């Protein structure tokens, strides 16, 4: 393999591995997005259109927005390095002016600056990557005029603003998230842990059925012109028990890093045993809210009690705090100095 081939292979492993590490339980997202990141890094991104356009669909709490944040962190080192459009705020056709600005001479022209400008996109790049990330969250809530406006962006990579200036989107990755079909998916696969078994399906059949439901809902909601301009559609499946266990491990590691960062020399070691983790999973598992419920459970059952102990001066620096089960709930032993 020549030098460029080795470099390309290394980048592929890097992107795929980083996405898989951050986006747990959704291999479809890794397979769909990682190759487009490779193409951009190799300098072979398409001309005259965005570098990549992706539609992420599926139930809430399965990792759609997290995927976009993971891409931002991989490319720019910051998960918030993106332009984010909450499409629920653009449900009326006239609100398109908030994105492109009102034309000169119209009432409120100076009071309605464009959301998408050259400067706004440039601000979302970094020294390590010149790609800007744009996220349209819950695109199904946007007015039809918004999706019509986006046709030119997806096809030609350009957006004409109200003042007649043109914004180039060639150096952008565009993501749409949607919950279309999520209710139907939940009805089909209701049953808590072991969803595939509860529905009498293996994992592959489960994934295919969810994809059919999601893609069918997308094609009913959006025009063929819009759908055909999307490079990759990724259907997110409900998280399995194994995936939730990995997510909990990841969140506990994040919590320890947060404690070290915020407390500095006053930090301590947090230990959460197997039984306590099982109780957190049981309390934080929700078909309706996915991994979001797990994070709320961690906040309620771990972070808040720890905050009370710290405020009361019960935790010594460099000590160990252990979570254990007592009376069917998680309690924390008094801190002892680590060996």
Evaluate if residue 167 carries a pLDDT over 50: yes
Evaluate if residue 74 carries a pLDDT over 50: yes
Q: Are 140 and 221 in contact (CB under 8 A)?
A: yes
pLDDT in tens, 257-279: 999 999 999 999 999 999 999 99
Domains of the chain, CATH where assigned: 3-238 (3.40.50.300), 242-337 (1.10.8.60)
Q: Are 250 and 261 in contact (CB under 8 A)?
A: no
pLDDT in tens, 106-133: 555 555 678 899 999 999 999 988 999 9
DSSP 3-state of 110:
coil
Evaluate if residue 194 carries a pLDDT over 50: no
Top pLDDT among 104 and 207 is at 207
- What is the residue-averaged pLDDT of the chain? 84
Q: Report pLDDT for 337.
A: 55
| Side-by-side strand order, sheet with 52-57 | 83-86, 132-137, 172-178, 52-57, 232-235
CA 181 from chain center: how many Å?
18
For residue 270, the cross-strand partners are: 321
Q: Report pLDDT for 10.
A: 46
Structure confidence at residue 5 as a pLDDT band (50, 70, 90): very low
Spatial distance between the Cα atoms of 134 and 230, rounded to a whole number of angstroms: 14
Q: Report pLDDT for 56.
A: 95
Mean pLDDT of 75-90: 93
Helices 64-76 & 3-22, crossing angle to 10 degrees?
Answer: 140
181 by Cβ neighbours in 10 Å (0-12 / 13-18 / 19+) ranks as buried
Mean pLDDT of 225-253: 91
Q: Please give the share of the chain, as a percent, with pLDDT higher than 90.
A: 48
Spatial distance between the Cα atoms of 154 and 177, rounded to a whole number of angstroms: 15
Q: What is the DSSP letter of 126?
A: B
Mean pLDDT of 26-36: 86
Tell me the Ramachandran region of residue 306: left when phi exceeds 0, alpha when psi lies from -120 to 50, beta otherwise. alpha
Tokens of 154: 């997806």
Evaluate if residue 201 carries a pLDDT over 50: yes
């Amino acid at each position: 393999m020549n030098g460029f081939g080795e470099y390309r292979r290394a980048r592929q492993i890097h992107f795929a591995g980083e996405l898989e590490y951050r986006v747990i339980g959704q291999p479809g997202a890794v397979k769909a997005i990682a190759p487009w990141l490779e193409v951009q890094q190799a300098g072979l991104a398409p001309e005259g259109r965005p570098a990549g356009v992706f539609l992420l669909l599926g139930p809430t709490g399965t990792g759609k927005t997290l995927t976009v944040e993971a891409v931002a962190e991989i490319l720019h080192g910051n998960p918030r390095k993106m332009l984010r459009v909450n499409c629920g705020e653009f449900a009326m056709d006239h609100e398109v002016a908030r994105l492109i600005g009102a034309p000169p001479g119209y009432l409120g022209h100076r009071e309605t600056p464009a959301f998408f400008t050259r400067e706004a996109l440039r601000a979302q790049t970094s020294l390590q990557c010149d790609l800007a990330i744009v996220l349209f969250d819950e695109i199904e809530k946007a007015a039809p005029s918004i999706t019509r406006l986006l046709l030119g962006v997806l096809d030609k990579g350009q957006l004409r603003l109200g003042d007649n200036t043109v914004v180039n989107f060639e150096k952008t990755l565009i993501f749409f998230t949607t919950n279309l079909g999520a209710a139907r998916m939940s009805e089909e696969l209701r049953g808590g842990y072991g969803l595939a078994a509860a529905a009498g399906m293996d994992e592959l059949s489960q994934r295919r059925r969810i994809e059919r439901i999601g893609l069918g809902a997308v094609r009913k909601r959006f025009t063929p012109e819009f759908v055909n301009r999307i490079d990759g559609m990724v259907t997110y499946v409900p998280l399995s028990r194994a995936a939730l266990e990995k997510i909990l491990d990841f969140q506990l590691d994040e919590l320890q890093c947060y404690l070290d960062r915020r407390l500095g020399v006053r930090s301590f070691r947090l230990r959460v045993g197997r039984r306590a983790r099982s109780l957190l999973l049981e309390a934080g598992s929700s078909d309706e809210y996915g991994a979001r419920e797990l994070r709320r459970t961690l906040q309620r059952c771990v972070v808040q009690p720890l905050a009370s102990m710290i405020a009361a001066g019960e935790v010594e620096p460099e000590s160990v705090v252990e979570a254990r089960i007592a009376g069917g709930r998680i309690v924390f032993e008094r801190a002892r100095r680590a060996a």
